[in-house]
Amino acid sequence: MNKPKLALSIKQPYAEMILRGEKKVEYRTSLTRIRERVYIYASKTKPEEDFEVMEAHPENYPVGVLVGTVEITECTGKQGDFEWHLSKPERLPKPQIPENRPLPRWFHPFKEKNCSILEFIRAIKKLPSDEAVDDPKVWYKTQKEHWLGWLKEYDGPGANGRIPGKERDARFAYNHIVCHKMLLWIIEAAGVSPTLVKATRRAAQKVDSMQQKSAAIRKHVPWAVLAEALWGSAEKE
């Protein structure tokens, strides 16, 4: 199973109740559109009185650590009174201290690893190629060839006058691509969810310029999602 990317801060004993399957709804004042598995972070916030209901002592429950994961499957309710529906809780074998500073609601628990341009090239070489198209206006026949040729010269000025000598990694390259066809090919070839790819294509079709299309694609498929598809984790290990 892929590692979750987000953590949700929950006070004890509610974090424990979620892991036991006793709490299946998280009540919040705000709407969430997240529908995925997330980490449960047992926050250091003052414990609730519900410890008495559980006949438990606060000191017996860990705080300040990631204690498990759960799926958010649905969000119902109305403004100011929303219900986040939870499913399939899983306790971590051992509580984990997050690398990043926890926030009151959502946060990214782990630091993102860097991936070099060379490692990015190696990953792209392993991907299936798209169908070749003869176009006298361009030097490449496939988007895979386009990617590899573009990255090969990435340390230099290239066609767009990049400033040579600067350290740039794979994330930077992905986030600065303007050609939407390159982006659409790589997210599909890398194995990003077909449902997400389909939604991304629709979003790109709703705007006109290449810059707008590429921005719409990255909004749906940010670098972390592509990296997960390429290397099997939220970032290259």
Name all domains of the chain by residue range, CATH numbers in brackets.
7-107 (2.30.130.30), 117-231 (no CATH)
203-216: pLDDT as tens digits = 999 999 999 999 99
pLDDT at 139 over 60: yes
Dihedral sign for Cα 218, 222, 227, 232, please: negative
Tokens of residue 65, six digits = 């650590």
Rounded to whole angstroms, the Cα distance separating 28 from 14 reads 13
pTM across the whole model: 0.56
The pLDDT of 20-46, averaged and rounded, is 91
Q: Are strands 7-10 and 106-107 parallel, antiparallel or unpaired?
A: antiparallel
Rounded to whole angstroms, the Cα distance separating 228 from 126 reads 15
Question: pLDDT grade, residue 233 (50/70/90)?
Answer: very low
Dihedral sign for Cα 101, 102, 107, 111, please: positive
Q: What is the structure's pLDDT at 107?
A: 85
- φ, ψ (nearest 5 deg) of residue 59: -65, -15
Percent of the chain with pLDDT over 70: 84
Question: pLDDT grade, residue 80 (50/70/90)?
Answer: confident
Rounded to whole angstroms, the Cα distance separating 27 from 100 reads 25
Residue 88, Cβ neighbours under 10 Å: how many? 10
Q: How far is CA 200 from CA 143, 144, 195, 214, in A?
A: 17, 19, 9, 10
pLDDT at 41 over 80: yes
Q: Are 53 and 89 in contact (CB under 8 A)?
A: no
Tokens of residue 141, six digits = 């026949």
Eight-state DSSP code of residue 180: H
